[in-house]
Structure 1
């Protein structure tokens, strides 16, 4: 009887340890859009962290309006505007101006940037395999999806 209790306790302990390891690993998995049979692919929410005081994000910009939103966002000098797809045909447009390094999440596709900063400041995206620097020339620059998916950091100086 005693050995049965010991085996039950040991099994419970192993199950608890496995759960303690697997649950945090699942939380770290890369974002992927879930499918919904009725509506197709679900959207995701791109994030840049941190957004500083005075910086903002405009969500749900239609694909046809993305470039107009980037230009409107970056009319003032000293501004860098980043647009990235949300997986549902819409985009999030970020209005950034503070020189700092930020973390990215859910940057999957349709990345476009209009850098209207002064002093030659670049918008620099990088990840484990790819890196790109976008000059301060006021031109809308698009980035291939394979690189966008790799990016996990952004610096706008």
Structure 2
């Protein structure tokens, strides 16, 4: 093999050795941009479903979640285009973590119960009971919310 061919082969090998590890890191870095929203406490019989596709599909899951009377369902973004949906029924105040964007609520509670979100800078936002309305909240407010009350 000639000197030029060997030099070219060496350059290709060095480039591959440098670029392949960088390409392998890209999916891991993309996945690291997601977060896990949380509501605490979740009581017995309450649950969360993760990795629900966003948009209209999330709304369909939200409607399915809140079919039963007395249930409030909360859908919030995970930062990767997917949603976490919480199925809640027990009254009380809860702490929120990683509530960043795409917050929606379908409140099918009875007796005029509300779902209320509160943040130190934005005050209180309400989602009155109405099984036919999906309440959507602005991202700036969602990011500020640190507590939620059900009932």
- TM-score, structure 2 normalization: 0.78
CA distance in 2, matches of 1:134, 1:47: 19
| Residue 38, structure 1, aligned to residue 26, structure 2 | yes
SS in 1 for 2:26: coil
Residue aligning to 2:112 = 120
Runs of 4 or more consecutive aligned structure 1 residues displaced over 2 Å after TM superposition: none
Q: Distance in 2 between matches of 1:44 and 1:115?
A: 24
Secondary structure in structure 2 of the residue aligned to 1:38: helix
1:132 aligns to 2:119 (yes or no): no
Q: Determine helix, strand or coil for the equivalent of 1:93.
A: strand
* Partner of residue 24, structure 1: none
Note the 1:53-72 alignment, pairs <5 A. 53-64=44-55, 65-72=57-64
Whether 1:144 aligns to 2:138 is yes
Shift of 1:123: 0.3
> What does 1:36-115 correspond to in 2, within 5 Å?
38-39=26-27, 40=30, 42-64=33-55, 65-115=57-107
Instruction: Count the aligned residue pairs.
Output: 121
Unaligned runs of 5+ in 2: 1-24
Deviation at 1:110, TM superposition (A): 0.3
Question: How much does 1:78 deviate?
Answer: 0.3
Q: 2:147 is matched with which residue?
A: 153
| Range moving further from structure 2, 98-107 or 62-71 | 62-71
